[in-house]
Amino acid sequence: MHPVLVRFDTPEFLRGIFPETITLYSYGFMILIGVLFAFWHTWYRRKEFNLDADQISDIFLWCFIGVFVGGKVFFYFEDPGRYLANPALMFKGLGSGFVFYGSFLVTIPVLIWRFKKKNIPVLPMFDVVAISGALVHGFGKLGCFMSGCCHGIECHNPLGITFTHPESNAEPLNIPLYPTQLMDAAMILGIVLLMLYLYPRKKFHGQLILLYALIYGVGRTITEVYRGDEARGYIIDGILTHSQFIAIFILASSAYLWRKWSKSQRVKAESN
Per-residue CA distances from 246 to 104, 189, 234, 240 (Å): 11, 21, 11, 10
Contact 105, 70 (CB under 8 A): yes
Interatomic CA distance for residues 119 and 68, integer angstroms: 25
Q: Is position 231 within any domain?
A: yes
pLDDT for 155: 94
Interatomic CA distance for residues 111 and 31, integer angstroms: 20
Q: Is position 200 within any domain?
A: yes
pLDDT for 217: 92
- Tens-of-pLDDT digits for all 272 residues of the chain? 788 888 878 787 777 777 778 778 898 899 999 999 999 999 999 999 999 999 999 999 999 999 888 888 877 776 667 767 777 766 665 555 677 778 888 999 999 999 999 999 999 999 999 999 999 999 999 999 999 988 999 999 999 999 998 888 888 999 999 999 999 999 999 999 999 999 999 999 999 999 999 999 999 999 988 988 766 666 777 677 778 888 899 999 999 999 999 988 877 776 66
Q: Is position 39 within any domain?
A: yes
pLDDT for 76: 75
Contact 244, 218 (CB under 8 A): no
pLDDT for 210: 97
Q: Is position 60 within any domain?
A: yes
Per-residue CA distances from 174 to 43, 161, 165, 241 (Å): 43, 9, 9, 26
- Strand 4-9 to 21-25 pairing: antiparallel
pLDDT for 231: 62
Q: Is position 70 within any domain?
A: yes
pLDDT for 78: 67
Q: Is 114 exposed, middle or buried (0-12, 13-18, 19+ CB in 10 A)?
A: buried
Range of the domain at 108: 28-271
Q: Is position 8 within any domain?
A: no
How many structural domains comprise the chain? 1
pLDDT for 91: 66
pTM: 0.87
Q: Is position 216 within any domain?
A: yes
pLDDT for 82: 72
Q: Is position 20 within any domain?
A: no
